Chains A and B, each alone.
Chain A
Amino acid sequence: MSPTRRDFLRVSTVSGIATTVLGFDLTPAYAQAQALKISRTTETRSTCPYCSVSCGVIIYTIGDKAKNVTPQVVHVEGDPDHPINRGTLCPKGSSLMQDILNDRRLLKPQVRRPASDHWEDISWDQAIDEIAHWTKKSRDDGFVEKDSQGRTVNRCESIAWTGGCTDTNEFNYLVVKTMRSLGVCYLENQARV
């Protein structure tokens, strides 16, 4: 006996209601985890600027360096391939993104004049000119050609130089050459890179 149209409708309606009421579960066995926020970002290697340990960090920026994209930092994390920290970071280093994206970050040279109570913005050209001027003046004022026993020393004791921790070997080489040529003896930096 072949089922009639009426039988077919009856069976499908009853089974439809039954599956709805009694439950027929097609919930996927897999759940979408939250998308990885750095999955398609550009990775740039850098050095943490805080202490002399000079940990390697990776800076993640949005976009793929395409022409019309202005990269924005989305995350900073330790560089697992860096021999010093092998991916680890201290709490300050872990928060480096807030060092980069910060309203109070200095973006131009500033100077505090003698006896002044505030910092004023100056241009790069002015800053370089002033540095040259004051370097010359300090050196001329405090230059020591001969020590107390009459030996030629040619020391510039009125200037000291301190370098930061992100200074590379190559940069420090230039610093030493420049400073020694001025006669500067007080040279130090905390770089370990």
Chain B
Amino acid sequence: MPQTLEIKAISGHAGTVPGHGASRDYDVCKLIDVTTCIGCKACEVACLEWNGYSFTETVFDNSYQTMPETAWNYWNLIRFNEHENSDGSISLLMRKDQCMHCADPGCLRACPADGAIVQYANGIVDFHQENCIGCQYCVTGCPFDIPKFNPSTKKVFKCTLCSDRVSNGLEPACIKACPTGCLHFGSKDDMKELAEQRAAQLREQTSHKDAGVYDPAGVGGTHVIYVLHDIKNPEMYGGLPANPRVPFLVKLWKGPVKLLGGWAMFLGVVGVAIHYLRFGPKDAGHTTGPEDKNERTKS
């Protein structure tokens, strides 16, 4: 039974990924239509059930939200937000928060451990905990604050987009459970089209004139896209960044600085070799200098 997925990118890995681009895999995508979410949390439970995590104690924070943030064993959280509209009315906004599976994943860029984070050819960004060294650079690299550290095992966990199910031709557990049909799964092209259709419908038939599709270009697009009532103000959905980017320091450190460091090391070795050829070995046992001086003072 094929349970393998072709890899597109590997964290902390020197050189190219062999065989990449050979197959015709399509990008998979989750579509979350926040306008039809009723906040039932079936996706939260389905996620826990599939991934085998036990229920943890919830935190009451004067809202229906299960806990303030996603956790290392709680990858999928519906965020409840009370937003005050310009006319003084209140909107109760719900957003399914989980890994966005960026096309340009900041976590993978930041990760120094070979093979701890891989990006499959179908767009899924997956953590392989057996290669994780627990440095938490991925936490810094993620613009959505998704990877979560488990202090007892010193490994980082996050949503896998059910890579085990997808590689076997199934849809993710959360998608299957959703009773209102606000979650959809399919190829990126199909989901994008469906999302645009829904956004156009909202603009034409409802008062949400700014409805749109959230597929941020700053991280190269994501494999989890949203239909929002108001695409101009994604922050009101519990801190969805308007223009997420891989942090500048991560880009600098993993880009030019890494390259320069590599060259500096290489040129250093070359320099030492040239020095050796030009001036020969350092004569540690040579003691004639001081002796000469002594002789000179004597005379």
Which of A's residues lie within 8 Å of B, judged by CB? 23, 25-37, 39, 75-78, 80, 85, 87-95, 97-98
Task: Tell me how far the C-beta of B183 lies from the nearest C-beta in chain A, rounded to whole angstroms.
Answer: 9
Asked if B94 is an interface residue, CB under 8 A from chain A, the answer is no
Interface size of B as a range:
35 or more
Stretch at the interface among B98-106, B160-168, B248-256: B160-168
Task: Tell me how far the C-beta of B122 lies from the nearest C-beta in chain A, rounded to whole angstroms.
Answer: 11
Asked if B4 is an interface residue, CB under 8 A from chain A, the answer is yes
Contact (Cβ within 8 A) B4 A89? no
Q: Is the interface of A mostly helix, strand, loop or mixed?
A: loop
Contact (Cβ within 8 A) B14 A85? no
Contact (Cβ within 8 A) B3 A78? no
Q: Mark B104-142, 1 if CB is under 8 A from A, else 0.
A: 000000000001001010000010100000000000000
Q: Which of B3, B45, B46, B165 contacts A32 (CB under 8 A)? A: B3
Asked if B280 is an interface residue, CB under 8 A from chain A, the answer is no
Asked if B200 is an interface residue, CB under 8 A from chain A, the answer is no
Contact (Cβ within 8 A) A36 B49? no
Contact (Cβ within 8 A) A89 B3? no
Which residues of the other chain, A, contact B19 by a CB distance below 8 angstroms?
A: 29-30
Stretch at the interface among B5-13, B81-89, B146-154, B211-219: B5-13
Which residues of the other chain, B, contact A23 by a CB distance below 8 angstroms?
A: 14-15
Contact (Cβ within 8 A) B160 A34? yes
Stretch at the interface among B36-44, B187-195, B231-239, B283-291: B36-44
- Also in contact, A91 and B4, with CB within 8 A (given A39-B168, A77-B176): no
Separation of A25 and B3 alpha carbons in the complex (Å):
23
Separation of A78 and B164 alpha carbons in the complex (Å):
18
Pairs A-B, 6 closest by C-beta atoms? A29-B19, A94-B45, A30-B4, A34-B164, A33-B167, A91-B45
Contact (Cβ within 8 A) A88 B179? yes
Contact (Cβ within 8 A) A94 B49? yes
Contact (Cβ within 8 A) A31 B5? yes
Separation of A97 and B54 alpha carbons in the complex (Å):
12
Which residues of the other chain, B, contact A26 by a CB distance below 8 angstroms?
A: 18
- Also in contact, A89 and B179, with CB within 8 A (given A29-B7, A34-B160): yes
Which residues of the other chain, B, contact A28 by a CB distance below 8 angstroms?
A: 7, 18
Separation of A29 and B120 alpha carbons in the complex (Å):
9
Asked if B50 is an interface residue, CB under 8 A from chain A, the answer is yes
- Also in contact, A25 and B15, with CB within 8 A (given A36-B3, A75-B50, A94-B46): yes
